[in-house]
Amino acid sequence: MAKSKSVTIADVARLAEVSMGTVSRVVNRDPTVRPVTRKAVMAAVDRLGYRPNFNARNLRLRQTQTIGLLMGNLTQALVPLAIRGIERALRPHGYALIISDGASDEDVEQEALSTLLDRRVDGILWMPHIRRSAAEARVTPGAPPVVFFGQASPSESVPTAMVEESAALEEMARDLLALGHTELSYIGVGPAAHGRLRRLHPILNELGMACPPNRQLLLSRDEDTYEAVARLLHADPRPTALLFGPHGLVPSALRAIRDAGLQLPRDLSLVAFGETDWAEVLNPSLSVIGVDYLTHAQDAAGMLLRHIDGDDDAPRVIRHRSEYIRRESAGPAPALQA
């Protein structure tokens, strides 16, 4: 490691012929320094190209001005937007963002959390891949504030930014019902899929739609999508409507559908979680349940910041709505057409 001996506050003090304390005061805009000395110090700062060492400062102050982003699965389309949103919330407060990937693996996610903790981040924004209860168990007293985000239900113990999906889900269900669909298959990935299915169930029931357990697909890996969907399409009777977990599964699913010789929406209707620019230009265009992840992540970061500041009035739950956007991929159920 190249330890470039950077210029320190002592160097500046020496050159400006003042004490280190004074330099510190100048750098931190303490108003009690005389303009003259301020000028002198500034001159020395410029001359030496001095940059305060954030880490030394933070050691002294016992904080890091850094928040950690822990993504259970970093390879998701929403990530760039989420990061941008978070940065937007953080920048005005001078916080930096350190990012950690759980790689959809329980052990890695655990280790990623440890990394963040070791570095003494001031707070953590966490979109867990592991089971929620497991995640909750990890946030212990003594640890820095944690905020879950991207969740579909509030957590008892951890402040949560959640995406309210029931309304959109119900709207979708009504729409599909009106189109003659009497059941729906959900295809999701990871532990979160279970929860979503659990929430979907009563909504469908309420409307008199079926949600047959044997026609739901709870995958553990994205890669299994093609095969699993292909298999599902050979069931008898064939499902008429499919709902996909994150939309990242959709391309594989579309290939499976095409390879099975089926056409959307004639033979099958399809809806996916997550809006994307591609949805509208697909042929047929893709119906989605959309979420503004930039705002979501930004607000989650804002909430975390308030908790870090020890603001006891900071909300423990915030909700963002999602929205059903009907496009061409949802159409009349095949039976009706016959």
Partner DNA sequence: ATGAAAGCGCTAACAT
Partner DNA sequence: ATGTTAGCGCTTTCAT
Binding residues for its own copies, per CB under 8 A? Answer: 1-4, 6, 49, 51-56, 58-59, 61-64, 66, 74-77, 79-81, 83-84, 87, 96-101, 103, 115, 117-120, 122, 142, 144-145, 248, 250-252, 254-255, 258, 276-278, 280-283, 308-310
The partner in contact with residue 29, picked from its own copies, DNA, none with C-beta cut-offs of 5 to 8 angstroms by kind, is: none
| DSSP labels, 234-256 | TSSSPPSEEEEEEGGGHHHHHHH
Judged by beta carbon, residue 52 or residue 154, the one nearer DNA is 52
The partner in contact with residue 310, picked from DNA, its own copies, none with C-beta cut-offs of 5 to 8 angstroms by kind, is: its own copies
The partner in contact with residue 20, picked from its own copies, DNA, none with C-beta cut-offs of 5 to 8 angstroms by kind, is: DNA
Can you tell me the distance from the alpha carbon of 238 to that of 65, in angstroms, rounded to the nearest whole number? 54
The partner in contact with residue 234, picked from DNA, its own copies, none with C-beta cut-offs of 5 to 8 angstroms by kind, is: none
Task: Sort 94 into a burial class: Cβ within 10 Å, 0-12 / 13-18 / 19+.
Answer: exposed
Judged by beta carbon, residue 32 or residue 140, the one nearer DNA is 32
The partner in contact with residue 278, picked from its own copies, DNA, none with C-beta cut-offs of 5 to 8 angstroms by kind, is: its own copies
Chain residues in the site for DNA (CB under 7 A):
5-6, 8-10, 17-22, 24-25, 27-28, 32-34, 36-38, 50-53, 56-57, 59-62
Judged by beta carbon, residue 19 or residue 55, the one nearer its own copies is 55
The partner in contact with residue 36, picked from DNA, its own copies, none with C-beta cut-offs of 5 to 8 angstroms by kind, is: DNA
Q: Which of 194, 210, 258, 270 is nearest to 230 (CA)?
A: 258
Phi (first) and psi of residue 237, to 5 degrees: -75, 155
* Shortest Å, Cβ 330 to its own copies: 17
Residue 170 CA from chain centroid, whole number: 23
The partner in contact with residue 133, picked from its own copies, DNA, none with C-beta cut-offs of 5 to 8 angstroms by kind, is: none
Q: What angle do CA 72, 151, 169 make, to 5 degrees?
A: 125
* Shortest Å, Cβ 36 to DNA: 6
Can you tell me the distance from the alpha carbon of 88 to that of 94, in angstroms, rounded to the nearest whole number? 11
Judged by beta carbon, residue 14 or residue 321, the one nearer DNA is 14
* Shortest Å, Cβ 13 to DNA: 7
Can you tell me the distance from the alpha carbon of 159 to that of 300, in angstroms, rounded to the nearest whole number? 9
* Shortest Å, Cβ 197 to its own copies: 24
Q: Residue holding tokens 């969907």?
A: 229
* Shortest Å, Cβ 122 to DNA: 14
CB atoms within 10 A of CB 317: 15
- Residue 161 forms beta bridges with which residues? 149, 318
* Shortest Å, Cβ 141 to DNA: 17
DSSP state of 315: -
Q: Which of 185, 155, 191, 161 is nearest to 173 (CA)?
A: 185
* Shortest Å, Cβ 58 to its own copies: 6
**How far lies 2's CA from each of 52, 56, 128, 150, 176, in Å?**
19, 18, 36, 40, 62
